[in-house]
A and B are shown apart, each in its own frame.
Chain A
Amino acid sequence: MTASLLEIRNLAVRFTTGDGPVYAVNDLDLQVRRGEVLGMVGESGSGKSQTWLAIMGLLAKNGRAEGSVRLGGEEILNLPQRALTRLRGARMAMIFQDPMTAMNPFLTVGRQMTEVLEWHRGMSRREARARCIGALESVHIADAAQRLSMYPHEFSGGMRQRVMIATALLTEPQLLICDEPTTALDVTVQAQILALLDELRQRFGTAIVLVTHDLGVIAQLADRVIVMYAGRQVEQAEVHTLYGAYRHPYTEGLLRSVPRLDQPRSARLATIPGRPPDLARRPAGCPFEPRCAYASELCRQQMPPLVSLGEAHLRACHYDGALGPQGREA
């Protein structure tokens, strides 16, 4: 058995729409190791969410996933609904950007939490309650016992996200998938939630997948990072490598467009010109080519393969020269 908890091979997600197929995720290969935090970053529509929804078996009705996903060696992609339900919650859990939509507004928080334990663990209501109080305390919610009898709308956004995390952790999953867990929150609350995730990872050894479009967030927590563009993985590296020695023009663009406080203010913010491509079309060449400052004729004609640069650093790009201002002028 390897150290990897989740192995994804050749994952493809496709949606059938009125205007033909939409290729949301293509040829995705990746692993999540036990206890690590894997960051996944990319612009809106780059297929980050659909990857994990497919793995959780939560795709929209018009979506189909192909390939192979193994959790602890066992194939889990496209399992029957029943087996999936058991798997979700018990071995992997997912939390979303908007915690309100993931909660039933008519049930108390306690009811929603105890239900999980009664269902997955066959606990009695009493037992489950005690566990839930413990879980809420572990995500630093004060007066946990009283809070259990409150309804979701009585919580602030940050607290709701804490409750979601507590609920996800009730069944002690090996893998916690967080899809933009802090995008809807204030920076202050975001910092708290990130710190909480870090603490939980250390305490319980849960592997965490952190999906976000903000490289600032990834830097706080992730051990390894995957950069997605147009449904493809374009770069993968250990976190310090990625920020210090990225090798893909898109990663560079993303990094440069984050407004930062630790550097002198520039008159103009760097941007990536243009916008992400239409996923209904499949270009022959590199999907980033229309926005890339380093593009050449080759890029237009041939899709760059994902190749290893050594030391667990992968990237998909034809350009071999230096990145950064010098590279661009050359």
Chain B
Amino acid sequence: MSVEGRHEWYNWVPGRGAARKAETLAAAGVAGRSLWQDAWGRLRRNRAALASLWVLGVITLAAIVLPWVWPYGYAQPDWNLMYHAPTWAGWHIFGTDALGRDLFVRVMWGCRISLMVGVVATLVTLVIGVTWGAVAGFIGGWLDGLMMRCVDILYSIPFIPFVIVLMVLFGRNLLLIFAAIGAVSWLDIARIVRGQTLSLRKREFIEAARASGVGTATIIRRHIVPNLLGIVLVYVTLTIPSVILFEAFLSFLGLGVQAPLTSLGGLVSDGASVLQVYPYMLVIPAVFLAVIVYCFNFIGDGLRDALDPKDR
């Protein structure tokens, strides 16, 4: 075979390969894939992330379904069974608390609330923060100045007193907690995203997209945001747990969800006060909290790797 022959595709000269064109196109049978399809394939091959997804799925499902079918309600006291250690008798498998309420159903409710707080607040944070930061960073100029000054002003509001004032004014309310947490934590992410966008904006491939006639909104969606994913996902894996823990802190201050409803944070803080006498009161919700936080971490890591095509 001639040298030319062996490298025909590489040294392809228009015209020369015309005969083979149709054949190759058909034979290749190739269809374009996108980053997302590839990422899903890669995520599925990551054991830790996959296991975490399963665990989290099971916890979520349990937290939603089990309270419905469980023989006890979360607010149902039993004055004869206060601080009862875990037992199979009467299905108090996690024991009971100071008011004789079944701890299992309370933990399930706690998971439900904490996951909701964590995920919803983080989503709010993410949507506002990424959009705000990406728009400010990409468009730049006076708009950037204006948008970032807003962020500075919001930053200067002392957060905890602010939440306390809100609570006092409007009463304790789940929605308010989401809103308050979301409204504050998006500031960080907006700043991070803006910084990244500023450096992305100068990259040549953004210019190439503009030369191809791609509009600003599409560039942000198709080029900027996917390239921000790495850092944003790291941030999210840190934010969900920290939001959950923050809610726990609010509960500790007595500002969390309204009793008798509770969250994992609330349960942990209840448990902490009787740690020496009734350790299961702390250990059980703490284990759930830890498992959830770890799962998010693994999923976040897995997603970050899956979305980075360089990581094979």
Pick the residue among B3, B7, B11 that contacts A295 (CB under 8 A).
Answer: B3
B16 within 8 Å of A by Cβ? Answer: no
Scan A6-23; emit 1 where CB is below 8 A from any B CB, else 0.
000000000000100000
Among residues of A, the one whose C-beta sits closest to the C-beta of B4 is A273
A5 within 8 Å of B by Cβ? Answer: no
Pick the residue among B4, B6, B11, B312 that contacts A290 (CB under 8 A).
Answer: B6
CB neighbours of A28 from chain B (8 A)? none
Pick the residue among B4, B6, B10 that contacts A275 (CB under 8 A).
Answer: B10
Is the CB–CB distance between A292 and B10 below 8 Å? no
CB neighbours of B3 from chain A (8 A)? 273, 291-293, 295
CB neighbours of A271 from chain B (8 A)? 11
CB neighbours of B10 from chain A (8 A)? 273-275
A273–B7 alpha-carbon span in the complex (Å): 7
Scan A285-316; emit 1 where CB is below 8 A from any B CB, else 0.
00000111101000000000000000000000
CB neighbours of A291 from chain B (8 A)? 3, 7
A291–B6 alpha-carbon span in the complex (Å): 9
CB neighbours of A292 from chain B (8 A)? 3
Give the B interface residue count (CB, 8 A).
Answer: 7
Scan A64-91; emit 1 where CB is below 8 A from any B CB, else 0.
0000000000000000000000000000
Scan B1-42; emit 1 where CB is below 8 A from any A CB, else 0.
001101100110000000000000000000000000000000
Within 8 A of B (CB), among A36-80: none
Scan A253-278; emit 1 where CB is below 8 A from any B CB, else 0.
00000000000000000010111000
Among residues of A, the one whose C-beta sits closest to the C-beta of B8 is A273
CB neighbours of A293 from chain B (8 A)? 3
CB neighbours of B312 from chain A (8 A)? 18
Among residues of A, the one whose C-beta sits closest to the C-beta of B6 is A290
Chain A proximity of B15: nearest CB distance (Å): 14
A242–B6 alpha-carbon span in the complex (Å): 29
Among residues of B, the one whose C-beta sits closest to the C-beta of A273 is B7
A71–B59 alpha-carbon span in the complex (Å): 66
A18–B6 alpha-carbon span in the complex (Å): 30
A293–B3 alpha-carbon span in the complex (Å): 6
CB neighbours of A18 from chain B (8 A)? 312
Among residues of B, the one whose C-beta sits closest to the C-beta of A295 is B3
Chain A proximity of B16: nearest CB distance (Å): 13
A292–B4 alpha-carbon span in the complex (Å): 10
A150–B205 alpha-carbon span in the complex (Å): 33
Scan B111-150; emit 1 where CB is below 8 A from any A CB, else 0.
0000000000000000000000000000000000000000
Within 8 A of A (CB), among B34-54: none
CB neighbours of A275 from chain B (8 A)? 10
A295–B7 alpha-carbon span in the complex (Å): 14
A25–B7 alpha-carbon span in the complex (Å): 26
Among residues of B, the one whose C-beta sits closest to the C-beta of A18 is B312
CB neighbours of A295 from chain B (8 A)? 3
Chain B proximity of A15: nearest CB distance (Å): 16
Chain B proximity of A213: nearest CB distance (Å): 19
Chain A proximity of B8: nearest CB distance (Å): 9
Chain B proximity of A20: nearest CB distance (Å): 13
CB neighbours of B11 from chain A (8 A)? 271, 273-274
A290–B4 alpha-carbon span in the complex (Å): 10
Chain B proximity of A214: nearest CB distance (Å): 22
CB neighbours of A290 from chain B (8 A)? 6-7
Among residues of A, the one whose C-beta sits closest to the C-beta of B10 is A274
Chain A proximity of B10: nearest CB distance (Å): 6
Residue among A271, A273, A291, A292 with the highest chain B CB neighbour number at 10 A = A273
Chain B proximity of A234: nearest CB distance (Å): 17
A315–B131 alpha-carbon span in the complex (Å): 61
A292–B6 alpha-carbon span in the complex (Å): 11
Among residues of B, the one whose C-beta sits closest to the C-beta of A19 is B312
Among residues of B, the one whose C-beta sits closest to the C-beta of A271 is B11
Within 8 A of B (CB), among A129-178: none
CB neighbours of B6 from chain A (8 A)? 290
Chain A proximity of B312: nearest CB distance (Å): 8
A156–B3 alpha-carbon span in the complex (Å): 45
Chain A proximity of B128: nearest CB distance (Å): 35
A290–B5 alpha-carbon span in the complex (Å): 11
A273–B4 alpha-carbon span in the complex (Å): 8
Chain A proximity of B253: nearest CB distance (Å): 44
CB neighbours of B7 from chain A (8 A)? 273-274, 290-291
Chain B proximity of A64: nearest CB distance (Å): 23
A293–B7 alpha-carbon span in the complex (Å): 12
Chain B proximity of A219: nearest CB distance (Å): 27
Chain B proximity of A95: nearest CB distance (Å): 27
A264–B79 alpha-carbon span in the complex (Å): 104
A290–B8 alpha-carbon span in the complex (Å): 12
A118–B31 alpha-carbon span in the complex (Å): 63
A323–B11 alpha-carbon span in the complex (Å): 22
A271–B4 alpha-carbon span in the complex (Å): 12
A273–B3 alpha-carbon span in the complex (Å): 8
Chain A proximity of B45: nearest CB distance (Å): 14
A291–B11 alpha-carbon span in the complex (Å): 11
A292–B2 alpha-carbon span in the complex (Å): 10
4 other A-B residue contacts (CB within 8 Å) besides A273-B7, A290-B7, A291-B7: A271-B11, A273-B10, A290-B6, A295-B3
18 interchain pairs, CB-CB under 8 A: A18-B312, A271-B11, A273-B3, A273-B4, A273-B7, A273-B10, A273-B11, A274-B7, A274-B10, A274-B11, A275-B10, A290-B6, A290-B7, A291-B3, A291-B7, A292-B3, A293-B3, A295-B3
Q: Which 10 A-B pairs have the closest CB atoms?
A: A273-B7, A274-B7, A273-B11, A293-B3, A274-B10, A273-B3, A273-B10, A290-B6, A292-B3, A291-B3
Using a CB–CB distance below 8 Å, which chain B residues touch chain A?
A: 3-4, 6-7, 10-11, 312
